[in-house]
Structure 1
Amino acid sequence: MTVQRSTMTSDNLAAERPTVEMGELFQTFGKIGLLSFGGPAGQIALMHRILVDEKRWLSEPQFLHALNFCMLLPGPEAMQLATYSGWLLKGVRGGLLAGLLFVLPGFFVLLGLSILYITLGDVPIVDGLLFGLKAAVLAIVLEAMIKVAKRALHGRFAYAIAVAAFVAIAFLQVPFPLIIATAGLVGILRHRLSGAGPDNATDVVLPEPRVPVSATLKTLAIWGAIWLGPLALLLVFFGRAQVFADQALFFSQTAIVTFGGAYAVLAYVAQQAVEFYGWLRPDEMLTGLGLAETTPGPLILVLVFVGFLGASRMSGLDPVTGGILGGTTALFFTFIPCFLWIFVGAPYIERLRGVKWLSAALSAITAAVVGVIANLAVWFGLQVLFGETSSVDWGPFSLPSFDPAALDIAALAIAVAAGIALIRFHLNIFLVLGAAAAAGVVLTLG
């Protein structure tokens, strides 16, 4: 495909944007938010059908260009695509409305499920449902790893980065942010030394809007204050000993390093929220992911479940009240940075996409994400199939240790069946999750 460059000015481009009323925007993105099941691929396809094919609010080049930009950012690309689409149509007001409507339906559903989780306690039928969901989640993570690997791993360099990332996080316990930073630097170094890197010559290019630096600085200051102001207040007045301050800082850090989507960041969350902070158990991390898979909105809403459980247990408040505040803290500090990335970066989309060393860095980061997700699959697999695990040190390496006799045959059967259904026959994820949950109930009650 030849690069297409428009000779239109930014003023001409703005004049040709369709006139969309805020009420219609609310209805459309509200519909998208309620129907946004099926992970990023399904959510992006839904937005394309509604915004490009049905409403004709965005052209095909505009939509693809926005999607490519959002893929470069940390955070959930589908939510950021909704925000950017709203920004194109109605400026900051439209972007804020579209982004909120994309995440709030799933947030309220997951908040309700979290309340049920901590209030129902050990009910056999609920235990069975969660048992089946957790086994199916293992298959879902494997499917995600396969999809990302097909897209990201091209050539020996990419495979080497993926293997190195897996070894670093699985056996050397290297923090996720350091792996991401190192992969980016390696990608830049390789580009500088050899000129190797992704070729963006097939991208459709739109004209770059003229945005004064003063306007960018103002946007940066406003959204930086909205994000970092509450974080600073929590840290100053409560300190790290208070769970809400700890969560605000943790989820802010998570928002910065979530390259590669929710499955990549889950390894970081598991490493910190489970092992370091002790907010929830490993099996509960699996439960949260299973619940997030069944709700609308981005999969990274699983962090709401993490924040809910952590605060319900450590805030000193009533478990439901503390949990609601913790879940809200997770939502705010995970998604507010997404608005900052879009509102500050979108006007400079062409300038960012034209930087070859940045594309090379992000290509290496995407390859590293494959290794990180592979580690997540191993970690989940050990928890699902063998329950309690430990680790043993062997030189600089920390190797997992488990009892082979503890293998849960029922969990293995559900995971294998779910994997075949998803990977081989590409069945609907909700059908697979429903069948797994039903199997879990039958096996638990039987």
Structure 2
Amino acid sequence: MFDNLSEKLDKALHILKGHGKITEVNVADTLKEVRRALLDADVNFKIAKDFTTKVKEKAIGENVLTTLQPGQLMVKLVKDELTELMGGDVSGINLSGNPTIILMSGLQGSGKTTFSGKLANYLKTKKNKKPLLVACDIYRPAAINQLHVVGEQIGVEVYSEEGNKNAVEIAQNAIKHAKANGFNVVIVDTAGRLAIDEEMMNEIANVHKAIEPNETLFVVDSMTGQDAVNTAKAFNDRLDFDGVILTKLDGDTRGGAAISIKSVVNKPIKFIGTGEKMEAIDVFYPSRMADRILGMGDVVSLVERAQEQYDEEEARKLQKKIAKNEFGFDDFLAQIQQVKKMGNMKDLVGMIPGAGKALKDVEIEDDAFKHIEAIIYSMTPGERSKPATIDVKRKNRIAKGSGTSIQQVNQLLKQFEQMSKMMKMMQGGAGKNLMRMMGGMKGMRP
């Protein structure tokens, strides 16, 4: 996420390294590179210029604290200004109304239909809502089918009307259906359209007027950069939407849309899409995103994701197994599944301070655990529960069955043994305190 921008900003801010005082000369040199990094990320020229001007005004004349180096102070100033540029405070979704009506708008190919499903899944699992998805793309039967597939995947009902070519009628009928059947959120997925298509823009404006949504969201493909920002302005002029959704942030994103869209349309980014899975949706926190852009990680979000997968009862059972030396590969496999539920591996690594920079040339695949899983699945139930029984003959069979080498099997067994010993040591005071802390933090949010 924003790897290229992060690298260039890091180089720019290193200019101040070793200086004892911030001066107009070294600030100018640094901010020249910062502006260049922003422009390369497809941020609008005026926004990039205003950004560096504000940072310069704050930096000039500031005395560097004895415990603070100029480079660190500049990082803080840039971080604060980036946070402000992206919206400042987090902006939640409006769930008032009975039912809450959410209208999704955006361009073709922006990921709108997929994100409608992610949002429905988020509201169902995190907010305890009963959502209804509505297929209002009357032009593409494939889009309606796609929404039905998504709905089935997440266990959410999809309302559609075969043969009806009136999007306003479909949306109104869906709301009646929701009221009659106890749905408390209605998510209306509309057809993707171009801002220059007057007929299509009139249609979504009519839908908007007819159903009076509590939230109108504009979905933006973050990989389209400045074009997305310009399109958002055109849509906002017609719909006056409430917030922006940035999709495909797990791809080769330049960052221009995320950084500049708020200042252009004066509407907050509410959610981001970070992968293909239905769980790959995050609330947008400007401060946390600024940290990530500057290579400072996002520990808070990482802890929150871990907490979501943390189960106190399962943790207690696991502790007992470790204490009795009964921790086996089935338990290890369960831990892997929990980590996988937290999101794609590249995104998780990016949340660890410094890890993104240290591993920038390392390709982290989303299926990083596939070889480990294959080896474990090739073991018998007895071998999984008692790894010590795995001799040379069994190792050869496991390697052959999993499509791996004997060296990979040996490596996993060695790592598993070391991990088991470490977990056994953690059964002492430090480990118990960690478990208690995790339990106490469960459910906490900043």
Higher alpha-carbon Rg: 2
TM-score range, shorter-chain basis? under 0.3
Q: TM-score, normalised by structure 1?
A: 0.24
How high is the TM-score relative to the length of structure 2?
0.24
Tell me which protein shows more helix as a share of its residues: 1
Bigger proportion of residues as strand: 2
